[in-house]
Structures are given as C-alpha cells and as structure tokens.
Structure 1
Amino acid sequence: MGPIAFYAPLKSPHHPVPSGERQMARNLMQLLTRDGVVPQLVSELRSFDKHGDGAVQAALLAQAEAEIPTLIAKGRAEGWALWATYHSYYKAPDLLGPTVSAALGIPYVSFEATRANKRLGGPWDAFEKKAQAACDAADVLFHFTGRDAVALRGHLKVGQQLVHLPPFLAQENLPTQAEPDASTLLVAGMMRKGDKLASYSIIAEALGHLTGDWQVEIAGDGPCRAEVEALMAPYGGRVRFLGQLDAREMAQAYERARVFFWPGVNEAFGMVYLEAQAHGVPVVAQDRPGVRDVVAAEGLVADPTPDALAAALLTVLNDDETHRQRAQEARDLVQNHHLLTAARQTVWEVLNPLMKET
C-alpha cells in the first residue's frame, strides 16, 4: 500500500504559531501513520484569505494551478494511495486535492470540511465554491462536530460516506491526574482580536463575581496581550500571566489547576478542553455548538451571564466532592471517546476497504 498524501490548507502542521488548528493537523498525521509509514505533507500552500479579497483569492488560485502538475508527477512517481485534507472551508479551501487525486485515480478524503451557502454571492464566493467542490469530490467526509454534519448531510452525493470522528488527543493513555492544592483557575487562549478577545472579556466579567480565595493563571500570548492585561488589571496579583507555553509547560499548568475556564466564543471545538479534561481538570464553558461536542455536560453553562459562570466556577472551586466527581467524569469522557485508539478504529475501518479498491 502506497503512502498517504496529507494537506492542511489553513495551517500547516509545521506552522510556527501554536494553536488547536496546528495541533489537530499533527494529530491527524499521527493517526494516519501505519506500520511505520508516515503520511507525506505534500504542500505548504496556505490558501487563506482572511478578508474576502478577490485579488488575494485569484493569486492563490493561480499558485495552486501552478503547483498541481508537480504534485501529480510526484504522486505518480511515489505511488500515493490516498489524499487526505484537513479543514477545507470558505476562507481556506482545498485548491489542490480534488484535482490531484482525480488525476491519479486515488481516493480523496476530507477531515472537518464545511459548507457555508451564505458565503455564496459575497466576497468569498469563489472560495466557497471551491470549498463546496472539494466536499463534492470527497469519497469520505469525516466530521468532528454535529454542527458540521448538518450542513454536509444535505448535500451528500451517491456513494459518499459521512463519518463522525470525535476530536481526539494524539495519545493512547490518559496523563497523570491533576492534584491541585490551591483554588487555581486556568485560562488558555491566544490573545488576538475577535472571538478570542471576546472570550477574555467574558472571563474578566465573570471574575468580578467570584468570592473567596482564588487565583488565575493565563497561558497564551498574542497581539492583544495589552488588551487582555487591561481586562485583568482590576484583579491585581490574583492573575498570573504565563505567556506562550510548550507541551510540557502546559501539562504542568493543568496539574496546578482546580478548574479550566474558557467560554468558547465561536470555537470549532477546542483542543484545550480535551487536554484539560484528560488531566482531570473540570471545565467551565458556555454551552455553545462545537464546545458541547468535547466538554462533559456538567461543565456547560447554558446561562451566558457572568453571575451564572461565576456560580459554576465556585461550585467546582469550593466543593471537594463535586470537584472529585467532575474530574472523574472529565477523564472518563476523554478515555472513552477522545483518545488515539478510538480515533484509529473509526478512521481505519473506513480507509482500509477504500484503499484496497484502488
């Protein structure tokens, strides 16, 4: 069986900036590794247009067209058996995989592809059409969340498979369970404008409703660091900024945490939720689409007010039995649904027969 070609149009697994997007791309490459054969990252083309600029899209389309013949030749020479793309959507569609896989006569599969009809006719019209064409070309569409499945299911072609793959950590076993000795809330998120800064604003409001002895550690950095520091300024020494952490440092932060707090404004799902829960750190988050696919139900707060979020935090911080139960529920959730073993079984049950047909 030949090698798998892997491509991530939004963010390469080699991208220098840490994020859940980059981590999931790396996780998928590990998932697709079998019998010592590692998937090949076949392109670093980042087809990302943040602002809906027609000229940017045209330039990226031209770059893709220029790269396609080289990829086809490489695929023939190396005997690629399958093309796998991670996260094709209207801002960063897969401009390579459908054409290359068709030319090579190999299966094309897509992880976390999305359709957004509301983008047709607008500034991302050309890219949304490419994203939908990529969905149409896929032999298998693996979706991470229920929200994505809804849009995909209504447009399935004859013979296409739509398969639920819960988001997963690239590990076989749970890490050591956290045993915090203080009332520490852990926050982790990039500091940038938009949804991330909105989550930080919600956190700052909720902290104002907390009582008792507590402190916050914030892992993350970014261009809006000053804005986040200003939001947290009223809480003085209770807030400690950790900066950008590597995997080992992040694991140490989970071990100190009594609760993980991240509202999750417009999160696709959020890898940090899985990481925290794997360590036995209960999560408090707003009950939002995507977030509810990866967070234990008791950690979801339907009422978005700062009062309600603070009340949920205080329950975990102050009640030892609740904390114990929630920590175990969190670990059970990850153990049963979100580790590499379960993900491998789901994916390879689909890919094995597909690859044997070629």
Structure 2
Amino acid sequence: MARIAFYAPMKSPLSPVPSGDREMARNLMRMIGAQGDTVELVSEFRSHDKGGNVEVQTRLRAEAEAEIARLCHALPEDCALWVTYHNYYKAPDLIGPAVCAARGLPYVQIESTRATSRLTGPWAGFAQAAHDACDVAQVIFYLTANDLITLDRERFGAQKLVELPPFLPLDQLPPEGSRDGPILTVGMMRQGDKMASYGLIAQTLQYLDGDWNLEIAGDGPARPEIERLMAPFGSRVRFLGQLDRAALQSAYDRASVFFWPGVNEAFGMVYLEAQAAGLPVVAQDRPGVRDVLLPGPAYPAPEAGAGALAAVLNQLRRDPLLRKRIGALARRRISERHLIDIATGIFWQAAGPLMETRA
C-alpha cells in the first residue's frame, strides 16, 4: 500500500465552513484511499485570493515559500504521489510542483482549469501560476466537458487528460424514494450565484399550477433575504435549515421532484444525490450541470427563463408515471457512472503507472 500526499489550495477538507468544494475534497481523499492506500492531507495552506489583490498575492507567495521549505523536509520518505485538487486562477497550487521537484514525486491534479482570459488583469500572476502548475502535472483528471476545452487546447507535452466523472461517496445506491411528496430544493444560502438560483426559483413558483409545496434544505448568511423572496407563497414553502446526511436523505426520499436551476454551478453534487434517490431533476441546461444530469429529459436554456422551468415542473408534477420512469433511468446512470468504486478504478488506472515508473 502506498502513501499519497493530498492538497487543496482553494479550501482545506478540514475547513469548518461547509461548501461543495470542501465536500468534494473529502470525497476525493476517501476515493483515492478506497483500496487501502494512506491518503494524507499534507498542508492546509490556502492560496485563495478572492478579490484580485496584488498585495495579497505577494503575501501568499511568501507564505508558500515557507510551506515549500517545511514540506521538503517534513514529507514522509515513503510518500509516492502528490495529488492537488482544484488548481485555478484564484487559488493556484503554489507549493506542489516545487515540493515534487525537490522530492522526485509524480504530480497529478484533479479539477483544474486554465483561464487564459485571466492572464491579464488583477489575477494575472496567479493565473500564470495556475497554468505553470498545470504544466507540471503528468495527469490532470477533469470532471466536466467544459473544463476539458481549455485543458486540451493548452495541454503540455505528453500530459494525459483523463475524465473523472463527479461521484458520490457511496458504493451502492440508497433506497429509492416515493416520488410523491413536495418539490425539493437543496442549496447553500449565500450571495452571488446561489442567490441567483434562489431568485429564479421564486420567479418560477409564480407560474406553477394546482396545489404544490416546496421544501428548501440549506442555510447561510443570505437566508433572511431568501425567506423574504419566498414569503409571498406562505406555508407552501417550508425551510428545513442545514440538514445532516441522514435528514437530507429523508428529504430526498419523500420528495417528488428536485429543483435547482444551477446558475454557474461547476456541476453540483446535489444533482447526483437527488438522482441516486430516483428523483427527476428540473434544472437549466448549463455547462457542467449537464455533465451530471440524465441525458434526454428537457432542461430549459437559461435564456428561456422561469416560465420554461415552470412548464417542466408542472408536467412532472402532473405525471407520476413520467417521474417514475425518469427517476429509474437516473438511478441506473448514477450506478453506472457516478459511484465511488468507479472513480477509484479510473483514478488508479491513470495514476498507478506513475508510481511504478518512479519505483
């Protein structure tokens, strides 16, 4: 069994702040170690610069140099591979390439992006650092077709690009839900893209016909504003708050349809969770999102607006047989493409030979 170094420059998997990024990092560590290998979080250094501030970037580079020096000495001698998750222009991997060069370690990345448009402007230096780190990676695992576009266009040398579909940390599907309860939304409550999705949900609810109910799982600093958005619908909208895993699974089990527009989502783990429970999904047809949705059902284009989303919701609400058929197909696709054992196989098929070459 091997010892693997894991690093996430955007956010440590040990961060106390819930997020999709933290959840994915935790899932990746579990996936990589699923066959018994030791996966060690070697650094919690966060290189994230949210605002494009050159002074912040300069400070982070200096801190990164100190972290490089520490790791060159502290990294265990039997470490056989370095894995970096989510290297991009706001949070480049400033330490992995240097440590791997000093220690002679193979270096791979998961969910990296190349943003050539950011090579000028306030993040120019960090964007270049992210590009440089990508160049060092012998394998880059990409999660969506949208990420592949620039990774392939700027592929460095003999670098391998390997699809790693987003996955659930499960080796089998959960029990199938009833599909006869309320509409369900699951999303963090914060400003920006999440708030845009909630705004679109509120607009969509105005077009729903007949009797309906919506449950919303999630919490965050924007909750008061979201509650105001939903206030016109009274008791038909129920806020569940932040749920633990068991309570969230219960919400999926009793729902009829999962509704999350997905404004600027990278892909969205909630879509996988909903489909694993057998729920049909109502979302907009967006890059990244479409990579984790069952092909075939209608996903309205963003420019079609709230009316188009409502039309799909109304159709699904009226037709239990359609919900059952779509839900069954979604569960099958999750079982064939988006479970942890599948991801583990893909990862080690590409990363294993790098360790053998080093040995």
Return the TM-score normalized by structure 2: 0.97
Note the alpha carbon deviations across 1:206-252, whole angstroms, 9 max, x for none: 00000111111111111111110111111010011111111111111
CA contact (8 A) 2:107 2:136 kept: yes
Distance 1:158 1:94 in 2: 20
Q: Residue 36 of structure 1: CA displacement?
A: 2.7
Distance 2:113 2:101 in 1: 20
> What runs of 5+ residues in structure 1 fail to find an aligned partner?
none
Distance 1:249 1:321 in 2: 26
Q: Which amino acid aligns with 2:150?
A: A
Residue aligning to 2:249: 251
Q: Which amino acid aligns with 1:16?
A: P
Q: Which amino acid aligns with 1:307?
A: G
Q: CA RMSD in A?
A: 1.2
* 1:81 counterpart = 2:100: no
SS of the residue corresponding to residue 215 of structure 2 reads: strand
Note the alpha carbon deviations across 1:289-346, whole angstroms, 9 max, x for none: 0000001131522363211101101111110111111111110111111111211111
Aligned sequence identity (%): 54
Q: Residue 2 of structure 1: CA displacement?
A: 3.7
Residue aligning to 1:308: 308
Distance 1:59 1:2 in 2: 34
CA contact (8 A) 1:179 1:256 kept: yes
Residue aligning to 1:320: 320
Residue aligning to 1:229: 227
Residue aligning to 1:123: 122
SS of the residue corresponding to residue 300 of structure 1 reads: coil
Number of residues of Structure 1 aligned to a counterpart in Structure 2: 356
CA contact (8 A) 2:31 2:169 kept: yes
Residue aligning to 2:205: 207
> What runs of 5+ residues in structure 2 fail to find an aligned partner?
none
CA contact (8 A) 2:180 2:320 kept: no
Residue aligning to 2:101: 102
Residue aligning to 1:32: 32
SS of the residue corresponding to residue 357 of structure 1 reads: helix
**Matches of residues 123-142 of structure 1 in structure 2 within 5 Å?**
123-142=122-141
13-22 vs 48-57, which moves further: 13-22
227-236 vs 27-36, which moves further: 27-36
CA contact (8 A) 1:277 1:331 kept: yes
CA contact (8 A) 2:179 2:324 kept: no
Residue aligning to 2:148: 149
C-alpha distance 34-273 of structure 1, shift in aligned 2 (>3 A): closer
Residue aligning to 1:353: 353
Distance 1:118 1:158 in 2: 22
163-172 vs 27-36, which moves further: 27-36
CA contact (8 A) 2:190 2:222 kept: yes
Distance 2:179 2:56 in 1: 49
CA contact (8 A) 1:29 1:38 kept: no
Return the TM-score normalized by structure 1: 0.97
Distance 1:3 1:299 in 2: 45
Note the alpha carbon deviations across 1:136-166, whole angstroms, 9 max, x for none: 0100010000010000101112221010111
Q: Which amino acid aligns with 1:198?
A: A
Give the 4+ runs in structure 1 shifted more than 4 A: none
CA contact (8 A) 2:179 2:278 kept: no
